[in-house]
């Protein structure tokens, strides 16, 4: 599980297909769920697959990013809601892929976020 920071990241140096000059667009709510080699070949070469979950929001809008000093509750609720949504998808993904350790880890994160939201 990797939580990324904002930006476009050049990955051509670690790619099996460096000529494609691949980039990954990342945001604060991007979660890499799995990286694996596909059993199928692409033009005679194995294909590395990165599966990620991306949640978009209005967080960068002026009315949501400039909370005042008394708005800690809004920030906490927002963070908990994003974590719950992201974790629900991650748990389901891990169930479908048979990633039991990751599923258990995401379930703990999900449960903690639900508790956090309930206490807001």
On whether the pTM is more than 0.85, the answer is no
3-state secondary structure of 87: helix
Any idea where the domains of the chain sit in the sequence?
A: 1-54, 58-120
Lowest mean pLDDT segment, chosen from 53-57, 60-64, 83-87, 98-102: 60-64
Q: What is the pLDDT of residues 20-66, one digit of tens each?
A: 888 777 666 778 899 888 877 666 777 778 888 888 665 554 455 56
Could you tell me the CA-to-CA distances from 120 to 9, 23, 116 in Å, in that order? 35, 38, 6
Q: Which of 57, 77, 56 is nearest to 67 (CA)?
A: 77
Q: Distance between CA 47 and CA 104 in Å, rounded?
A: 28
Tracing tokens 């708005």 back to the chain, one arrives at 71
């Amino acid at each position: 599980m990797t939580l990324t920071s904002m930006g476009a990241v050049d990955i051509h140096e670690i790619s099996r297909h460096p000529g494609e000059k691949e980039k990954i667009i990342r945001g604060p709510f991007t979660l890499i769920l799995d990286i694996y080699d596909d059993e199928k070949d692409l033009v005679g070469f194995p294909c590395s697959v990165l599966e990620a979950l991306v949640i978009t929001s209005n967080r960068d809008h002026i009315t949501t990013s400039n909370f005042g000093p008394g708005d800690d509750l809004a920030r906490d609720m927002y963070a908990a809601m994003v974590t719950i949504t992201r974790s629900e998808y991650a748990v389901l993904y891990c169930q479908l892929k048979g990633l039991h350790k990751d599923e258990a880890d995401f379930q703990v994160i999900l449960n903690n976020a639900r508790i956090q939201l309930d206490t807001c």
